[in-house]
Amino acid sequence: MGNAANNPYHPFASKLDWDFAQWAKTRGPTSTAVSDLLAIPTVVDKLQLSYKTSKELNVIIDNLLPERPRFRRQRIAVHGRTFEFWHRDPLACIKALYADPAFAPHMAFAPQRHYEDDDQTIRVYNEMHTGKWWWRTQLTIEQREPGGTIVPLLISSDKTQLTLFRNRSAYPVYLTIGNIPKDIRRKPSRGAQILLGYLPTSRLTHIKRRDTRRRALTNVFHACVRKILAPLELAGLQGIPMASGDGVIRRCHPILAAFVADYPEQCLIVGCKNMECPQSCILDRGDLGSYHCEFERRQHAQAVEALQTIDQGPEQYIAACEAAGIKPIHHPFWENLPYCDIYQSITPDVLHQLYQGMIKHLIHWIKKAYGEEEIDARFARLPPNHNLRLFSSGISHLSRVSGQEHKDICRVLLGVIIDLPLPQPGMNPTRLVLATRGMLDYLYIAQYPSHSSTTLEYLDDALNKFHTNKGIFLDLGIRVNFNLPKLHSLIHFVEKIKLFGTTDNYSTEASERLHIDFAKAAYRASNHKDEYPQMTLWLQRREKVHQHALFVKWRLAGQPAITNAGPAMDPRRFRLQIARFPNAKSVSFAAASARYGARHLKLLLAEFIIRTNHPAMNPRQVKQVAAQLNLPFRSVAAFHRVKFWHPDAQGRDNVPEVLDAIHARPAYRDTQGRLQPGRFDTALLDDERDDEDEDRRGVEGYRVGQIRMVFGLSLRANEAAFINPQSAPTHFAYVEWFSRFAGAAEPNHDMYKVTRSMDWQGVERMASIVPVQRLRRSVHLLPKFGPVAPREWTSANVLDQCKTFYVNCFTDRQTYITVY
């Protein structure tokens, strides 16, 4: 096998030996299938593998690769029955994350304050170390013993189904640390989230009384989590020496900062009742729908004090817990955790409180207000866009709508109701449009990857707009009240963003994604009998392989030194890409007119060439010369798609790029011989500007156009057409223009209105040829349907049939910040 000094793949014999092992454990089939493959004669010999079966490969992984935190089994007895749960030592997991060399260059070890202005009046919140919680906790530790380093713990848990049948479920608990930047934490492939354990999933059906069963389930949860987190009590208070990936040893205090969960589990964690606020508010259920409402704060210290009366008798204990606003839980897991405020640690949940909460309600209310038939008709007649899902049959037939489907609906929801009258006589829909706009604004602003004092004011304004206009749903008889815990929870977003950074630091969407790797895939790898020992062992082996892959990469890179450079800085810029080879190599001018709708391609291209060759000519001279010009070519090469990668609209680094695309594709027949309609997307273009300011915001300097054709000239044609072919564009777009943006958006719905730009006779659409570099992004246009959507309109023809449109600002975050 060679030794570790001269073999970077050690304990594997060669690169092929390691590559096969990595494939078998991360991408390959079952262990039995791998063994069957290796049993084929000569396979092992020809590949020169150091193992002959999957079992032998497992021995190498188990014994020769560095250890990972091991799982251990614990038992808990409830009402005469014993239940098992599996977990790891949390300190071992924290050390594994903290000491990982892959994270070392990007780790944060101290709080920071970021400001948007030189006067330091507009504070910025993004990563967790920019929030107020880290500062407050750091000061508390410094007062007790200076020199400590906080390791903020973000724990999440959520029960998930493992199978569609037989009702098998798992209850995983995940752990990550706030020192790691959020852009690394949210990527499962980086391994910054670690499985802490599996909790019992029993429903305790052997307990017949419902109230007793609920109380027992609560106590089981807290008992299990208390056992798992018990090592944190002393370590968080006194600190423990830990070495980071760059080798520096610090006195670290692992402290529970945030517990990420949905609403039912939030109530379970803090011990409050359903229809109460788990994020520190004490208020009547009748006040949940109020925006300006005074309420008392739940006090963590008061709750702990009440829990300590458990030995004074059941009556006094229950009375003390009731006075503190919690259920009489038997020693909740957070009772002895140092520097922990459990009410403060409950974080906003965009997925369940907004998409699966208020947005779900809002869509239902809108369907009730307008009727499902007309809403479905409008959804089915929206033009396509790269960022949108088309609901060709409407939305009323959807069942068990997922969070992703609610996201897709939100992107066009406002556009389908803008000019839709209410069926009730005398009812003005303005307030409904305003309420919808307010909730959608809140949804989009709440998900900004970076917030400032200014954007948090926008967030408050959006929520205020919804509350000011929500009475329309009462007047329509759709609602009796708004006493919804998920609506009340929205008032806490600003507070929690200031404490812990932006909402993408603690999203439950990350937990939902982790279920695939840590629960569902692990269960499929087992034999479905006594699965947890198999699942935990399978996960440990995958982690070992992942860590060894990073080690091999480091060895092959020359073993570079590992240093801490602070949070990762990866500046991104706007990028545009067209395929190397055209989709249609030779398209004549007649075919361009017939198939692509580029009716005046020859004349407009001649005008573009004249303008490029003779920039001093005025428009009249250009038209006169172009009419007489004989082009030295008869066809062009057509491309059916242009791709874009947009940097963050707020100008922040390390925010995922937004992938976008524009399609300009004629009708075609699919593999089944069915005719598919053509698609010619609309785009946002630079309006006669040549600057490179790709990060500018607002609609100034932009104009909307429909891209009928994207094409290029051959090298010979380019040299024949242009005086200076080296500086001439290589790819062009045939654009049919819409009107320029007005000075302000339309009232109430705050969307810009555009119409087709026509010639002075109102017959021909205004069009021109532009370099593709003027394309900035796709843009979605929402048709102005009128009181009733014309039934002859379809998704394929609406851009041609309709004359007036609203520019949709909700397709993605980049467009929202640009167009809004």
Q: What's the rounded mean pLDDT across residues 557-581? A: 76
CA angle 512, 513, 515 (to 5 degrees): 70
β-strand 148-157 against 249-260: which pairing, if any?
Answer: parallel
- Residues 282 and 248: their CA atoms lie apart, in Å, by 45
Q: Is 477 left (phi over 0), alpha (psi -120 to 50) or beta?
A: left
* C-beta of residue 198 within 8 angstroms of C-beta of residue 86: yes
* C-beta of residue 686 within 8 angstroms of C-beta of residue 774: yes
Residue 31 burial (CB < 10 Å; 0-12/13-18/19+)? middle
> pLDDT tens digits, residue range 229-262?
999 999 999 999 999 998 999 999 999 999 999 9
3-state secondary structure 278-339: CCCEECCHHHCCCCCCCCEECCHHHHHHHHHHHHHCHHHHHHHHHHHCCCCCCCCCCCCCCC
Q: What's the rounded mean pLDDT across residues 516-540? A: 93
Q: What is the DSSP letter of 50?
A: S
What pLDDT, on a 0 to 100 scale, did the predictor assign at position 218?
93
> pLDDT tens digits, residue range 2-22?
567 789 999 999 999 999 999
pLDDT at 565 over 80: no
Residues β-bridged to residue 646: 658
Q: What's the rounded mean pLDDT across residues 630-657? A: 84
What pLDDT, on a 0 to 100 scale, did the predictor assign at position 653?
65
- Residues 593 and 697: their CA atoms lie apart, in Å, by 35
Which of 40-44, 205-209, 569-573 holds the top average pLDDT? 40-44
Cβ burial 175-201 (10 Å sphere, 16+ → b, else e): bbbbbbbbbbbbeeebbbbbbbbbbbe
* C-beta of residue 660 within 8 angstroms of C-beta of residue 780: no
* C-beta of residue 223 within 8 angstroms of C-beta of residue 215: no
Token duo for residue 641: 């798609």
* C-beta of residue 498 within 8 angstroms of C-beta of residue 456: yes
pLDDT at 690 over 50: no
> pLDDT tens digits, residue range 405-432?
999 999 999 999 999 999 988 899 999 9
pLDDT at 158 over 50: yes
> pLDDT tens digits, residue range 281-297?
888 888 888 887 667 78
CB hemisphere CA count around 658 (13 angstroms): 22
pLDDT at 566 over 60: no
- Residues 7 and 21: their CA atoms lie apart, in Å, by 16
- Residues 778 and 769: their CA atoms lie apart, in Å, by 17
Q: Where are the alpha helices (DSSP H) in 557-676?
A: 589-591, 601-613, 619-628
Q: What's the rounded mean pLDDT across residues 130-140? A: 96
| 522 pLDDT tier (thresholds 50, 70, 90) | very high
DSSP result, 134-171: HHHHHHHHHHHSTTEEEEEEEEEE--EES-SSTT-EE-
- Residues 226 and 337: their CA atoms lie apart, in Å, by 9
Residues β-bridged to residue 733: 710, 770
* C-beta of residue 489 within 8 angstroms of C-beta of residue 277: yes
Cross-sheet strand order for the sheet of 641-646: 575-578, 641-646, 658-665, 679-680
- Residues 606 and 686: their CA atoms lie apart, in Å, by 21
Cα–Cα distances in angstroms (integers) from residue 223 to residues 38, 74, 199, 233, 338, in the given order:
46, 11, 10, 15, 18
Which residue carries 């969407």 as its tokens? 509
Q: What's the rounded mean pLDDT across residues 117-143? A: 94
Which residue carries 């903020």 as its tokens? 152
Q: What is the DSSP letter of 477?
A: T
CA dihedral 566, 568, 571, 576 (to 10 degrees): 180
pLDDT at 705 over 90: yes
Q: What's the rounded mean pLDDT across residues 99-115? A: 94
In the predicted model, what is the mean pLDDT of the chain?
Answer: 91
Residue 627 burial (CB < 10 Å; 0-12/13-18/19+)? exposed
Beta-carbon contacts of 257 under 8 Å, excluding residues fewer than 6 positions away, are: 128, 133, 134, 137, 152, 153, 154, 178, 345, 500
Token duo for residue 335: 């009772």
- Residues 141 and 608: their CA atoms lie apart, in Å, by 68
Residues β-bridged to residue 429: none
> pLDDT tens digits, residue range 435-488?
999 999 999 999 999 999 999 999 999 999 999 999 999 999 999 999 999 999
pLDDT at 344 over 80: yes
- Quote the percentage of the chain above a pLDDT of 70: 97
Nearest alpha-carbon partner for 497 in 486, 506, 488: 506
What pLDDT, on a 0 to 100 scale, did the predictor assign at position 466?
97
Q: What are phi and psi of 554, to 5 degrees?
A: -65, -40
What pLDDT, on a 0 to 100 scale, did the predictor assign at position 166?
72
- Residues 8 and 555: their CA atoms lie apart, in Å, by 6
What pLDDT, on a 0 to 100 scale, did the predictor assign at position 691?
46
Residue 530 burial (CB < 10 Å; 0-12/13-18/19+)? exposed
Q: What's the rounded mean pLDDT across residues 485-506? A: 94
| 696 pLDDT tier (thresholds 50, 70, 90) | low
> pLDDT tens digits, residue range 352-383?
999 999 999 999 999 999 999 999 999 999 99
What pLDDT, on a 0 to 100 scale, did the predictor assign at position 208?
87
Q: What's the rounded mean pLDDT across residues 641-654? A: 79
- Residues 626 and 622: their CA atoms lie apart, in Å, by 6
DSSP result, 61-110: HHHHSPP-PPEEEEEEEETTEEEEEEEE-HHHHHHHHHT-TTTGGG---S
